[in-house]
Copies of this chain bind each other. A is one copy, B any other.
Amino acid sequence: MTLLDKAKLAKQAAAQMVTLTTEEKNQALLAMADALENNMARILAANEKDIASAKEAGVTGALIDRLMLTEIRVHDMAEGLRQVVELPDPIGEVMDSWERPNGLRITKVRVPLGVIGMIYEARPNVTVDATGLCLKSGNAVILRGSSSALHSNRILVTILREALLSTRVPQEAVQLLEEGTREEVNQMLKMNDYLDVLIPRGGAGLIRSVVENASVPVLETGAGNCHIYVDESAKPDMTHAIVINAKTQRPAVCNAAETLLVHEAWAKKHLPALLSALKEKNVELRGCERVRELAKNVEIIPATEEDWRTEYLDYTMAITVVESVDSAIEHINRYSTKHSEAIITESEASARKFLTRVDSAAVYHNASTRFTDGFEFGFGAEIGISTQKLHARGPMGLPALTSSKYVIYGTGQIR
């Protein structure tokens, strides 16, 4: 079946999805969860093929780990679907309602987006997670995973669709693209008549390519060049705890900190100790001239312009001394990817300035940037973290997968 055929089927399915009740959608999610657990052997066997091909192609450890499914991971995917069942259904919510002087009653109601295109990389769990969130919010989904995970994705989608057969959710609401060609993605990016939104999830290269080439609206996710600014009045203990946590607790994720900005007065007194603490955690440090002067016995690689722009996703941190909160804000608004930034300060005035003027999805006062996450925010599962300003910003839960519609009740009104 061609991509166009699949897109047409998805669009037809989306038209049916709007008529389903919460109960009917939840039953489908539970059936899918059970089906995954009841087909463990089929899933693991298919996944082994992907792992074998990847190893043959010389793929390295971290990528193999992302691709790998285990019994525990399959149970986790099923549990994830069951958690989505527990989330409130956003569809049908009356967001606003008012009456006009002419008697027209206008209501704004929440509706599904329609057909969502997911373009993602190796992790097969995205196949299940995204399907769960899209169906619960009344959407159809077209999945385009990495070709390296094709066997895994194919068996997962087959099992999910088998499970849907006994439910009111149409099978065709879940479509998997299997060609694995770049041409297939290019075609998907331009399907404005069939796709209501594209959500790319993966590395910066994938996301940039989708943003640059799509005519379908895109929800840009992910890239996080996150900053921590240590103000003059920051408490040293709190600063140590937050900086070490934001940099080293899980450096490969988008909400980990990449650049540290330190007020010059604080730096003179406390920076050497903080640098040593980072070094003890095996963080490679790249600093401006002034950081290098203050560093004493800690090795600091000279930072280049490139360092201020880089999302390392690793045990590396760029560090610079600034003369004021204003300079920090300017640096951040220049280099950040508008994901998450934190100020550590005891000054209310500095905090207010920073929180107002830093233009990012999440801005923190005295807390780690690592909290920008659907679960940490209390939303439950998320479809990604939006770094754009349109439609949704920050962690995207179910409401980000919805649109609205004006339903207007009249008694014959004309203009």
Residues in chain A within 8 A of chain B (CB atoms): 15, 18-19, 98, 100, 104, 106, 111, 113-114, 190, 192, 196-197, 211-215, 217-219, 235, 238, 241-242, 245-246, 249, 333, 355-357, 359-368, 370-372, 376-378, 388-391, 393-394, 403-415
Contacts and interface: CB of A to CB of B under 8 A. Distances in A.
A393 B405 contact: yes
A217 B249 contact: no
Contacts of A219: 390
Contacts of A393: 403-406
B390 A197 contact: yes
Contacts of A246: 414
Contacts of A197: 389-390
Contacts of A413: 366-368, 371
Given A364-B410, A412-B238, A389 B356 contact: no
A406 B368 CA distance: 14
A412 B217 contact: no
Given A114-B389, A217-B388, A390-B113, A365 B406 contact: no
B242 A412 contact: yes
B370 A415 contact: yes
A390 B361 CA distance: 18
A217 B390 contact: yes
A409 B357 contact: no
23 contacts: A15-B357, A18-B356, A18-B357, A104-B371, A111-B359, A113-B389, A196-B388, A211-B215, A214-B215, A219-B390, A355-B407, A361-B405, A363-B406, A365-B409, A366-B409, A367-B411, A368-B414, A371-B415, A372-B406, A376-B415, A377-B406, A390-B391, A393-B403
A92 to B, nearest CB: 9
Contacts of A377: 100, 106, 406
A403 to B, nearest CB: 4
Contact of A217 (B218, B357, B403, B406): B218
Given A238-B412, A357-B15, A367-B408, A196 B389 contact: yes
A222 to B, nearest CB: 15
Contacts of A415: 245, 249, 368, 370-371, 376
Given A249-B414, A360-B405, 12 more contacts: A18-B356, A19-B357, A190-B212, A196-B388, A196-B389, A245-B415, A362-B405, A362-B408, A363-B406, A365-B410, A372-B406, A390-B391
Leading 5 A-B pairs by shortest Cβ distance: A367-B410, A245-B414, A389-B403, A391-B391, A238-B412
Given A211-B215, A408-B362, A242 B390 contact: no
